[in-house]
Amino acid sequence: MTNTKPNFQLNDPKIIKGWTMFDWANSAYSLTIAVAIFPAYFEAITAREIAPWGIAMYNTTLFSLIVAVAYLVIAVISPILSGIADSSGRRMAFMRFFTTVGSLACMSLFFFDGENLQSGPMLSLGTIGFLIATAAFGGSIVFYNSYLPDIVTEDQYNRVSARGFMMGYLGCVILLIINLVIITFPEWFGIADTGTLPVRLSFLSVGLWWFGFAQYSFRHLPPDGKGKLTWKAVREEGYEEFMGVWRMVKQLPNLKRFLLSFFFYSAGVQTVIALASLFASLEMKMASNELIMVILLLQILALIGAWIFAKLSDAIGNKSGLVVMLVLWTLVCFFGYMVEGKVQFYLMAAAVGLVMGGVQAQSRASYSKLLPPGVKDTTSFFSFYDVLEKGATALGSFSFAFTGQVSGGLRVAVLVLAGFFLVGLLLLARVKIAHEKIA
């Protein structure tokens, strides 16, 4: 992928460990901050009706818009970043940049404090800090992923990729449990302030964790090469490569239908993942420690669900397995509209966890089956797939924000997400996956 030949040994255990440790480092942000703690904290310390920069809206609307803008930025710049990763040897420099910016933005959230915030510099600090951290996290992932085919042989792709995922999951769960204990029992750590300080310490801990453990990766990953970085190379390797994949997809109706289906149901899936804790905080009145327990439940059940639906898809086919999961996702959204009480919410969260891991894993597997036979540049196809998923997250979050603003609550917004799943189902019905028992 780079312009220079590797001067290191492929499948080197130290390099592989360095690569997987980057997942350990930055996954803490995606789970602890973006999903588990910050959304509920934001809703708790801001007024229900706010006016950031003189624009009146609900606080949940603003937060949903921040998520949408962050993912839209990532979707737009991803082809540029992919072009940089493919055409120059400066991957580590960009990884360092995004890691430093993201972790500092995350740590800045420690100073995001107050009560019933409606506007002003403090509200701007929280919104802009979260936006920058989320976009920087997404930017760093592009360069992290691009290392894989350069550090291991093809027969090791699946094993090493899975190892990175597991390291990321393990790291973020460990830090999430530590923060759960601090938030629930601050007196154990000599924290007399039982207000916002324990929660804000979690923002600081994630930023330090992210930046600190990333240094191990920077020390052990191959150093930057001397490839020349030009806009022409970036354009050819980035947007032109992206558009080249789109031109191929348009000539493959079956693949195009699947990607359209994937786009719509991903808008539902990714929005639920990103904004579930916001719903729990506003509609269920759950505290931070309760939300962390919900997120831990989701992560554990997601792994179990991925295994269950892998077995189911082996038995009845990928398409039929996806149909089952999308039906369940739709029912979960309708149940979310009607849910009353924390027990019902925990049951709904358990159902989300089971289908969350399964739909992501089987979508990727189904896409792999639908790629043109003999295609060599699978990296470009999966870069296209990733941009599509980020764009879907932006669409889902924008829809969630708009519906929540108009309706004054989040329950109707959940019904809109059910609409995304139904559209995905209808489009998936026209997809044919060869060599399956049920297609």
Residue 26 domain-assigned (yes or no): yes
Same domain, 131 and 272: no
Q: Are 124 and 83 members of one domain?
A: yes
Domain for residue 120, yes or no?
A: yes
User: Does residue 333 belong to any structural domain of this protein?
Assistant: yes
* 232 plus 312 within the same structural domain: no
Q: Which of 237, 266, 292 is the last residue of a domain?
A: 237
For residue 338, give every residue at least 6 positions away whose Cβ sits within 8 Å of its Cβ, in sequence order, or none: none
In this structure, are 263 and 178 located in the same domain?
no
Say if 137 falls within a structural domain: yes
Q: Is residue 247 part of a domain?
A: no
* 242: in domain: no
- The CATH number covering residue 32 comes to 1.20.1250.20
244 in a domain, yes or no? no
pLDDT in tens, the chain (439 residues): 444 445 678 888 999 999 999 999 998 998 888 888 899 899 989 999 999 988 999 999 999 999 999 999 988 887 777 777 666 667 788 889 999 999 999 999 999 998 888 989 999 999 999 999 999 998 888 788 778 877 888 777 767 877 887 788 788 889 999 998 998 888 888 888 768 899 999 999 999 999 999 999 999 998 876 666 666 766 666 677 778 888 888 888 899 999 999 999 999 998 988 888 888 888 888 887 888 888 888 878 877 887 888 788 888 888 888 999 999 999 999 998 998 888 888 888 888 888 887 887 788 778 878 888 766 666 677 778 888 988 999 999 999 999 999 988 889 999 999 999 999 999 999 888 765 544 3
Query: Are residue 132 and residue 185 in the same domain, yes or no?
Result: yes
Domain shared by 229 and 257, yes or no: no
CA atoms within 13 A of residue 174's CA, in its CB half-sphere: 11
276 and 162 within one domain: no
pLDDT for 208 equals 97
DSSP secondary structure string, 161-200?
HHHHHHHHHHHHHHHHHHHHHHHH-GGGGT----SSHHHH
Count of domains forming the chain: 2
| In-domain check, residue 210 | yes
Q: Are residues 230 and 85 in the same domain?
A: yes
For residues 227 and 308, state if they share a domain: no
Single residue among 204, 237, 270 that ends a domain in this structure:
237
Same domain assignment for residues 229 and 265: no
Domain extent for 153: 8-237
Same domain, 220 and 265: no
Residues 74 and 206 in one domain: yes
Element (H, E) at 58: strand 57-58
pTM for the structure as a whole = 0.83
Q: What is the rounded CA–CA span in Å between residue 7 and residue 404?
A: 54
